[in-house]
Amino acid sequence: MSALRIALLTYRGNPRCGGQGVYVRHLSRELVALGHHVEVIAGQPYPELDPGVTLTKLPSLDLFAEPNPFRRAKIRELKALPDWLEYAAMRRGGFGEPLAFSLRAAWYLRRRDFDVVHDNQSLGYGLLGTGLPVLATVHHPIAIDRELKLAAGREGVERWYGFVGMQHRVARRLPKILTVSEASRDSIREHMGVVAEVVPLAADTRIFKPRPEIAKVPGRIVTTASADEPLKGLEHLLAALDSLPEAELVVVGKRKPAGPRVRFVSGLSDTALAELIASAEVVCVPSLYEGFSLPAAEAMACGTALVTTSAGAIPEVVGDAAMIVPPADSDALAKELLRVLTDGDLRARLGAAGLARTATLSWEATARETVRHYRELTC
């Protein structure tokens, strides 16, 4: 069959934070390997891409970047309607990047010749005006993040997440929505009123693999969990650590005040992250919800034992390769972490089960299934 010309959109492509930048990198690489032309169209922070994938930068105002988040834009920066909308949303306490990016992308796409447009969860109104076949991947409904932050008593949540209604309306008007797990499919139906089709993700087993040359650090627990995201459940893992006096916790994510046995790291390369996972006796995923959980898949691919919650898609992803506890239950988390840390045979069994499970998933399979959906849309 003929090669497809694919526009892959991502309004944010951070390769070191969250799964969306990882998704764009691996999917685009495998689509190119299958013989298709892929142009990734992205806003800041830009993704890291493999050779053969074209990157087109659509700069936003980048109003939330360090070291000056929520900065005042200069008049000379406000050149077009998307700039004004993005800035006005920030000034009102909202997040305007998905809408502004979609409008910039629509203007760009109307002057280009693509067979299909694949949106990575911007779901902005501009997608409805490209004149091209459009589908989108929804990793999980952002309404879930909003609900968890409201439950945590965060201020300004309704204003910040004002874009969620737009995303729901746009998703209902697109001809096809993809998602990454059955759990996420169910959540999308419940929150967005959309029927999505499942295309699972995978770990990059070229990098995330057993590394027998790396010694395990006794008592080391590794987790990937941003401190400012209630969704990731870090506070419950920190509480559990109080019952594990011989353990140390390494958190891949944003720093927050924590005890002396907690270390935060960020900006790791994929190789450095894989080596860190290989050095751990256990990886913990304490999330309150996950649409898939790449950290769990990466730990399994490294052959490292897992302790996770039962939230969202995690049990679907890990199967028998993890000890699973209820979400937001620090006591249960501490109990299972202690059990895994003190039982070498159990760690070995969980590690072997993880390796067997990740052998059934690959980014090539993800790309092939995604192409099948492209062709359904374009035929």
pLDDT digits (tens, 9 = 90+) for 146-198: 999 999 899 999 999 999 999 999 999 999 999 999 999 999 999 999 999 99
Tens of pLDDT, residues 14-49: 876 667 889 999 999 999 999 999 999 999 999 999
348/371 same-domain check: no
> Do residues 173 and 122 make contact, with C-beta atoms less than 8 angstroms apart?
no
Q: What is the mean pLDDT of the chain?
A: 95
- Tell me the average pLDDT across 237-259: 90
Count of structural domains within the chain: 2
pLDDT confidence bin for 229, thresholds 50/70/90? confident
> In this structure, are 104 and 74 located in the same domain?
yes
Asked whether residue 176 falls in the same domain as residue 229, the answer is: no
Q: Same domain for 174 and 254?
A: no
DSSP secondary structure letter of residue 76: G
| Backbone angles phi and psi of 83, in degrees to 5 | -65, -45
Model's pTM, two decimal places? 0.95
Tell me, yes or no, whether 133 lies in a domain: yes
pLDDT of 323 higher than 70: yes
213 found inside a domain: no
235 and 137 part of one domain: no
Find the range with the poorest average confidence among 170-174, 250-254, 341-345, 372-376.
250-254
How far is the C-alpha of 177 from the C-alpha of 142, rounded, in Å?
15
Asked if the model's pLDDT at residue 298 lies above 80, the reply is yes
**Greater model confidence, 321 or 227:** 321
pLDDT at residue 18, as a whole number: 67
Contact 263, 250 (CB under 8 A): yes
**Residue 207 resides in a domain:** no
Asked whether the predicted pLDDT for residue 1 surpasses 90, the reply is no
- The pLDDT score that the predictor gives to residue 255 is 78
In a domain, 214, yes or no: no
Specify the pLDDT at position 260: 86
Position 293 pLDDT exceeds 70: yes
Is 210 within a domain?
A: no
Q: Is residue 208 part of a domain?
A: no
Residues 251 and 351 in one domain: yes
Shared-domain flag, residues 147 and 235 = no
Residue 209 included in any domain: no
For residue 227, pLDDT beyond 70? no
pLDDT for 107 equals: 97
Which CATH number fits the domain that encloses residue 51? 3.40.50.2000
Q: Where are the alpha helices (DSSP H) in the chain?
A: 20-33, 81-91, 97-109, 142-151, 157-160, 164-173, 182-192, 234-241, 270-279, 294-301, 314-318, 330-341, 344-358, 363-378
- Cα 165 to the center of its chain, rounded Å: 21
Within this chain, do residues 194 and 226 fall inside the same structural domain, yes or no? no
Predicted local distance difference test score (pLDDT) of residue 379:
83
**3-state secondary structure at position 32:** helix
> pLDDT for 129-140, tens place per residue?
999 999 999 999
pLDDT over threshold 70, residue 313: yes
Could you tell me if residue 211 is inside a domain? Answer: no
Same domain? For 47 and 168 the reply is yes
Co-location of 190 and 277 in the same domain: no
What is the tens place of the pLDDT at every residue in 49-76?
999 999 999 999 999 988 899 999 999 9
Give the mean pLDDT of 311-321.
Answer: 97
291-319: average pLDDT: 97
- Once rounded to an integer, what is the mean pLDDT over residues 359-371? 96
CB-facing half-sphere around the CA of 151: CA atoms within 13 A: 12
To the nearest whole percent, how much of the chain has pLDDT over 70? Answer: 99
Same domain, 159 and 254: no
Q: What is the mean pLDDT of residues 118-130?
A: 97
Residues spanned by the domain of 261: 220-358
Looking at residue 30, its pLDDT comes to 98
- For residue 241, name the pLDDT band (cuts at 50, 70, 90): very high
Statement to judge: residues 264 and 299 lie in one domain: yes
